[in-house]
Amino acid sequence: MSDDVDRVGVAAPLLSADRLKAFTDAVVAIAMTLLILPLMESVTELGREGVNAAEWLDDESTQLLTFALSFVLIANFWVSQTNGLVWLTVAWMFTIVWLPVATAIVGQMETDATQKVLYIGSLLATSLMLMVTRLTVMRHPELHRIEPIRLRHGLAADVIMAALFALALAASLLIPALGYYVMFLLLLTWPLHRLATNVIDRRAAARSGGAA
């Protein structure tokens, strides 16, 4: 019996290219995520022993290197061509996969400067990757159908969040007593974004009026 026919004699549908790609993407995403599990386990174990974030980085330097290397290698196998936008997305994915470790360090280790850099710095890196990705998309309109005004609104949000994370990181390091209360600065994101979008909309209206 043919491989394309099931047990009751009905032709089995072939796996489409889109389904195969979706399956491949899912497998790659799972593999990338699983890379972080040994680091998560070491945070739990060493956190119980009273190890701080700086000591953890030193103890796990080899594991951290192999994690980063394996992540890049898997991404390289996944990416069929070295497209700048794709690699920016991979870099953003790296910050997302790393964030659970930074969060675990906050919950299970003593608060110090290294811990703050790892956690708030990770959030800052994610914001920066989004900002650079959006800038790249704006410079290549052939890659998308997003309205320019929406891209400018999104970029404003990226810039504001990155600035607030940078400010929070600086404040937490300069004034250690503030701890993670500096993260409340992120509450300013919405009102600042509202102001920014209003300015963007007014400028867009002025340009369209002048063109008319």
Is residue 149, in this structure, part of any structural domain at all?
yes
Residue 155: inside a domain, yes or no?
A: yes
Confidence category of residue 76, pLDDT binned at 50, 70, 90? confident
The one-letter amino acid at 6:
D
44 domain residue, yes or no: no
Per the structure, how many domains does the chain have? 1
Answer yes or no: is 6 within a domain. no
Is residue 106 assigned to a domain?
Answer: no
Stretch among 69-78, 95-104, 107-116, 181-190 having the lowest mean pLDDT: 69-78
Q: Is 104 within a domain?
A: no
pLDDT at 186 over 90: yes
Is 10 inside any structural domain? no
Residue 175 · residue 168 · CB < 8 Å: no
19 and 79 Cβ atoms separated by less than 8 Å = no
SS3 11: strand
Are the C-beta atoms of 67 and 35 separated by less than 8 Å?
yes
* Residue-number span of the structural domain to which 120 is assigned: 111-207
How does pLDDT run across 134-175, given as a tens digit for each residue? 999 899 888 788 899 999 999 999 999 999 999 999 999 999
> CA-CA distance, 45 to 165, in Å (whole number)?
29
